[in-house]
Amino acid sequence: MASILALAACSANNDPVPEPVPEPVPDEQMTPAETPTPAPKSTATAPIAPVVDLHVDTITMMINEGVPWTSPKLEASLPALQEAGVNVVVQAAWIERGAEDPRGMALGKVRRIRAMVEQSHGAAAIVTGPEQLERVIAEGRIAVILAIEGGTALTDGEATVRELHALGVRMIGLTWSESSPYADSSAEPRPGDAGGLTDEGKAMVALCNDLGILLDVSHMSDRATADVLALSRAPVLASHSNAQAVRDVPRNLNDELLAGIAARGGLVGAMFHGPFVAGSEEVTREHAVAMVLALEKRVGADYVGIGTDFDGIIAAPEGLASARDLPSLYDDLRAAGLSSEALAAIRGGSFVRFWKAADSARTRP
């Protein structure tokens, strides 16, 4: 269960203002006391059905709690990911509301994720493109993708994006619950024509396309999401967003936007913060299964993935408390009638397809 200190990244529209994130401890203090289980090495070709988590907030939790990636306090610890057979995980550098130095926070968290991966003794590796992704999966290691959650980090526009790109960042969400100079948040949408992407936001979409940075519309307002869909040359993803038709909160996506994302070859990751999964007080894995199936029914399995939001959610569904529960989720989805092909897509195959398609829009190295 996530500590309230890390509530953050998950995101409600009415989320309380997150607690300040303490100054990062030096990397030495984060060196795992225990050595992670070495990853099994394999010379086989890439598995047909990789397991992908499109969004976790593990680095923020590690900083808040002062724990290494191996800590049992984490929902998506390295051992939990290994045990669940996760092949790919998108690690988000979340930018808190009102951060004094949001760019510094982004750079700091990205460097901390890089250090965390280096300290994994080869069990994980950062990947910056789809070919490298398949190589790392085939090696039996966990592929880590670096992401920014919050456009407020991009204080110097293109210069900051290039700085982050050089550090390996390949996914950016232009807002969190706080609107940015680039786009409105679903938590703070402005009415009518005033909302959506700003001119700077439109330029940012083109820049991300050019550089091969995946655009993540989770947390953006409906209008901003529609703007990105209209402008982006590459398919876009909502790394951790649910269907509004099932759970009607602004943070979830309406059917029109879901269809728009899929029609352009994008991807929607089901997420597991209880209040965004179901309205009842007791949210269970059954509700999460229903949400995944609802997304699949609307857009098709090839456009659905899973972005748990582990280590960032305040309320995980019962029976879905950590990455260790993912295999049970997949079992439930199979039992609910999903075909093997559909399940393989939702577990992660859809992301591989999506990244290849999005990367083909890249015009600069």
- Please report, as ranges, the residues that interact with Zn ion according to CB under 5 A: 9, 11
CB of 95 to Zn ion, least distance (A): 11
* Residue 119 near residue 161 (C-beta atoms within 8 A): no
Nearer to Zn ion, 9 or 52 (CB): 9
Residue closest to Zn ion (Cβ): 11
Q: What is the token pair recorded at 110?
A: 């990205």
Of residues 39 and 316, the one with the C-beta less far from Zn ion: 316
Q: How many CB atoms lie within 10 A of CB 4?
A: 12
- Please give the Cα distance from 291 to 294 (Å, whole number): 5
Q: How far is the CB of 92 from Zn ion (least distance, A)?
A: 7
H or E, element range at 199: helix 199-211
Beta carbons within 10 angstroms of residue 265's beta carbon: 17
Residue in the structure block whose two tokens are 């190589």: 135
If the CB atoms of residues 17 and 25 are measured against Zn ion, the closer one turns out to be: 17
**Shorter beta-carbon distance to Zn ion: residue 95 or 137:** 95
Q: Which is nearer to Zn ion, 68 or 150 (CB)?
A: 150
Contact between 235 and 358 under an 8 Å Cβ cutoff? The reply is: yes
CB nearer Zn ion, residue 9 or residue 113: 9
110 touches 169 (CB < 8 A)? yes
Name residues whose C-beta falls within 8 Å of residue 31's C-beta, 6 or more positions apart in sequence: 68, 119
Task: List C-alpha distances in Å: 219 to 44, 101, 106.
Answer: 38, 21, 17
Residues counted in the chain? 365
Q: Pick the closer one to Zn ion by CB: 270 or 344.
A: 270
Take residue 364 and report the two structure tokens written for it: 């600069």
Q: How far apart are CB 41 and Zn ion at their closest, in Å?
A: 34
Measured distance CA(114)–CA(354) in Å, rounded: 24
Q: Is the dihedral of CA 179, 185, 189, 194 positive or negative?
A: positive
Of the pair 9, 213, the CB lying nearest Zn ion is at 9
Provide, rounded to whole angstroms, the least separation between the CB of residue 94 and Zn ion: 7
Q: Which is nearer to Zn ion, 125 or 258 (CB)?
A: 258
**Distance in Å, CB of 9 to Zn ion, minimum:** 5
Instruction: Report, in Å, the least distance between residue 102 CB and Zn ion.
Output: 15
The CB-of-239 to Zn ion minimum distance in angstroms stands at: 8
CB of 10 to Zn ion, least distance (A): 5
State in angstroms the smallest separation of the CB of 271 from Zn ion. Answer: 8
10 Å CB burial of residue 117 (0-12, 13-18, 19+) is buried
Nearest CA among 194, 260, 270, 186 for reference residue 230: 260
